């Protein structure tokens, strides 16, 4: 926005203001279909069509060979509702989300506060906290699989003990959560940092003049000003965490973890589709998953709207 305004020379502004009304409905802004067409073609082919096809396949017994499916009605959905492995997998993804979202939000906020308030070397802190996010998921996963290794890894060596991080049901998911915090906190951290930097300085100056101490300034200015960004961070994290897959499979060597303890929902759909070749069934549970994701996303929109209305 600032760029646009500086570029807008006053002369241009005056001239266009005079002529603006004349062209507002003129040829320039008509028939924009061509602008959106390329995107819409790709969007239709690779988003809308798969969605429709997924819904169709969910009512069939399609297999991986891509031919010869027949209609089975609601069988797949009926089976899914009774499938304990499906519920387990959904539970694992939900559990992961429940652990990751609060931790990452708080951690990102604290790191942002830290980086914001240190006067020197801002770029260095930013780099350190953000760097892990730049690694591919599989590299980060391998790194931590190696760190958590019972005998040769650094974690047990530093903290003592011989915790079987990756082979025990009570630690396996925790190990994945720790890896995820390290790997992805940088993104939310940058969002918080940007939000902090966009809080107008005069608010603080005014509060200082009124005699508010640092704690009061944080509670009464910083936190309220960060409410929107927190909403965004939480929403993005929930959506991303529910879809967890990469780090879990990499750290468990593409298996479901000890006693299936880390098999996530996405992993289960892929196993059903590509390992058991049950594309119809996998489509059915994918569609159910899509409904869940959509519900979460819509809930956020609804909450936002409600809040705006109460604010008004």
Partner 1 sequence: MSTTTRPRTAWTPGQIVLTLLGTAVSVVFLAPLAWGLFTSLKSETEAVEVPPHWLPEHWTGQAWKALFDTGNITNWFVNSLVVSVCVTTVVLLVSALAGYGFARTEFRGKGVLMGLVMAGLMISPAVLGVPLFTTVQQMGMVDTYWGMILPQCAPAAMVYILYKFFQGIPRELEEAAFIDGAGRWRVFFTIVVPLARPSLAAVGIFTFIASWNNFLWPYMVTSNPDLMTMPNGIATVMNSYGIQWAQLMAGGLMAGLPLIVVFVFFQRQIVAGVAHTGLAGQ
Partner 2 sequence: MGQPGLTRRHLLGAAGGLTAAASFGFAALGSGADALASHARTRVRYWNLFSGGDGSNMIAMLNAFRAAHPDIAVKDSTLQWGNPFYTKLAMAAAGNRAPDLGVMHVGRVAGFSPGRLLDAWDVDLLAEYGVREQDYHPGLWQRGVIDGKLYALPLDVHVQLCFYRKDVLRKAGLLGADDRMVPVTSADDWFGVLKEARKATRKGLQTIGLWINDQNFQWWFFVAFYTQLGGTWFDAAHTEVTFDTDKAAEVLQFLRRHVTDGYADPAMGSVNAEQFLNGAPFAWEGNWSVPVYAGAKLDYGAMPLPPVFGKQATHAESHAFVLPHRSGRGGATDEAAHRLAAYVVTHARQWAAGGHIPAHLPTLSTPAYRKLYPQNEYVSAMNHQANEPKVWFAGSTGILAQRVGPVVVSSTLGSVRPDAAARRMKSELGTLLAMKNPMDGRTAAQGGTAA
The residues binding partner 2 (CB under 8 A) are 61, 63-66, 70, 150-151, 162, 164, 166-169, 253-256, 258-260, 270-271, 274-281
SS (H, E, C) 226-263: CHHHHHHHHHHHHHHHHCCCHHHHHHCCCCCCHHHCCC
Q: Residue 12 binds which one of partner 2, partner 1, none, with CB within 5 to 8 A depending on kind?
A: partner 1
Partner from partner 2, partner 1, none contacting 63, C-beta within 5 to 8 A by type: partner 2
Q: For the segment 253-292, give every residue that binds partner 1 (CB under 8 A).
A: 254, 266, 269-270, 272-274, 279, 282-283, 286, 289-290
114-132 burial code (b ≥16 CB/10 A, e <16): ebbeeeeeeeebbeebbeb
The CA–CA distances, whole Å, from 201 to 2, 131, 191, 217, 281 equal: 18, 28, 18, 12, 56
Pick what 146 binds: partner 2, partner 1, none; C-beta below 5 to 8 Å, kind-dependent.
partner 1
Is there a contact between 96 and 176 (Cβ–Cβ < 8 Å)?
yes
Mask for 35-74, x = binds partner 1 (CB under 8 A):
xx-xxx-xx-xxxxxxx-xx--x----x---x--------
Considering the complex, what minimum distance in angstroms separates the CB of residue 266 from partner 1? 5
In the list partner 2, partner 1, none, the entry touching 162 (Cβ below 5 to 8 angstroms by class) is partner 2
Q: How far is the CB of 128 from partner 1 (least distance, A)?
A: 4
> Residue 259: which of 148, 142, 144, 170 has the closest Cα?
170
Give the Cα separation of 100 and 102 in Å (integer): 6
Contact 117, 204 (CB under 8 A): no
- Kindly state whether residue 152 participates in binding partner 1, applying the rule CB under 8 A: yes
Q: 210 CB contacts (<8 Å, ≥6 apart)?
A: none
* Residue entry with tokens 């070749």: 277
CB nearer partner 1, residue 30 or residue 310 = 30
* Contact range with partner 1 by CB under 8 A, out of 77-85, 166-174, 231-239, 255-263: 231-239
β partners of residue 71 = 60
Is 153 among the residues that bind partner 1 (CB under 8 A)? yes
Report in angstroms how near the CB of residue 70 gets to partner 1 at its nearest.
15
Residues 89-128 as x/- pattern, contact with partner 1 by CB under 8 A = ----------------------x--xx-xxxxx-xxxxxx
Q: Distances in Å between the alpha carbon of 6 and those of 97, 197, 198?
A: 44, 21, 19
Minimum gap (Å) between residue 272 Cβ and partner 2: 9
209 touching partner 1, by CB under 8 A: no
Backbone angles phi, psi at 226, to 5 degrees: -95, 5
């Amino acid at each position: 926005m600032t760029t646009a305004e500086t570029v807008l020379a006053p002369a241009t502004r005056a001239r266009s203001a005079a002529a603006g009304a004349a062209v507002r409905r003129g040829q320039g802004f008509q028939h924009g279909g061509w602008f959106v067409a390329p995107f819409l073609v790709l969007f239709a082919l690779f988003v809308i069509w798969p969605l429709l096809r997924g819904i169709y396949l969910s009512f069939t017994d399609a297999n991986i060979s891509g031919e010869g499916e027949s209609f089975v009605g609601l069988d797949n959905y009926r089976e899914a509702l009774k499938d304990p492995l499906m519920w387990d997998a959904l539970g694992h993804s939900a559990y992961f989300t429940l652990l990751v979202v609060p931790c990452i939000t708080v951690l990102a906020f604290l790191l942002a506060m830290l980086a914001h308030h240190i006067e020197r070397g801002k770029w260095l802190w930013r780099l350190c906290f953000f760097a892990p996010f730049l690694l591919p998921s599989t590299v980060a996963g391998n790194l931590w699989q190696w760190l958590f290794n019972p005998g040769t890894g650094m974690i047990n060596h530093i903290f003592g003990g011989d915790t079987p991080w990756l082979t025990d049901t009570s630690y396996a998911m925790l190990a994945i959560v720790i890896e995820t915090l390290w790997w992805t906190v940088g993104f939310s951290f940058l969002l918080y940092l940007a939000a902090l930097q966009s809080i107008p300085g005069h608010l603080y100056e005014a509060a200082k003049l009124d005699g508010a101490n640092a704690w009061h300034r944080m509670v009464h200015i910083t936190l309220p000003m960060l409410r929107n960004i927190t909403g965004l961070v939480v929403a993005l994290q929930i959506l991303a965490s529910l879809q967890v897959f990469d780090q879990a499979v990499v750290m468990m060597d593409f298996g479901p973890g000890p006693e299936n303890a880390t098999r996530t929902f996405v992993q289960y759909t892929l196993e059903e589709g590509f390992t058991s070749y049950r594309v119809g069934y996998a489509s059915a549970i994918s569609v159910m998953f899509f409904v869940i994701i959509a519900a979460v996303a819509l809930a956020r929109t609804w909450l936002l709207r409600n809040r705006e209305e109460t604010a008004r």
